[in-house]
Structure 1
Amino acid sequence: MPKNQKNIDAQSTDCLLRGWIIGTLSEEALGLVVGLDTAHPIWTTLKYLYAEDSQEHDQSIGEHIRIFKGLCYNLAAIGKPVPDKDKVFYFLTSLGHEYETFTTTMLKPLRPSYSELISQL
C-alpha cells in the first residue's frame, strides 16, 4: 500500500473514532473536548476527567495546570475564550478534595486573577 494511502486510511479511521466518541457525549462532556482535533486527545481528556480510580487522577498540580491551560487555549482557538474570572472558578472547582481548603479560601470575595492563582499553587 502506498504511503499516501496509509495516511488517508489513518485519517479516516481517526475521523470515524472521533465521531463515535463525540456522538456518545452529553452536552456537558462535549464542552470539555471542544477543539481537540483527533480521537487520542479526546479519549485521553475524557479518561482523565472521568476515571475516578485511575492513576491519572494522582497527577501533579503542574500536570493539572497544563491540561487546564490546554483546554482554555483550545476554546480560545475556536473563538470561545474563557474570561479570567471564569477560569479562576472553573480551575478551582476542578481541583481534587486535597485542595478543598485552598479552593474555599480562593473562592471568597476578592478572588485572585487566574495568573495570581496559578502562581500561588
Structure 2
Amino acid sequence: EVLGLVVGHETFAQVWKTLTGAFACESKDREIMLTRKLQLYRKEDKSVIEYVTGFKTICDELAVIGKPIEDDDK
C-alpha cells in the first residue's frame, strides 16, 4: 500500500513529501487515540513492571509521532 504511493518518485524529498502528506491525518488520529489511551490507563490487575512498561510504551509512541509527554506531566 505505501509502496504504491511512492513508485515513480525520483528523489527522497518527493517520497518524503508524499508520505508525510498521506499520513498527516493518521498521525493526528493516532495522537488523539494514544492521548486518550494514556488518560484511561489503569493498573488494574497488572504487576508494577507491566504497568510501568505499558505506560512507558504509550509515552514512547507519542514521542515517535512528535508529541512527547513532558516529564512533569507523567
Taking CA–CA contacts closer than 8 Å with sequence separation of 6 or more, which of the two structures ends up with the larger relative contact order?
2
Which band: TM-score by shorter chain? Answer: 0.3 to 0.5
Q: What is the TM-score with the length of structure 1 in the denominator?
A: 0.29
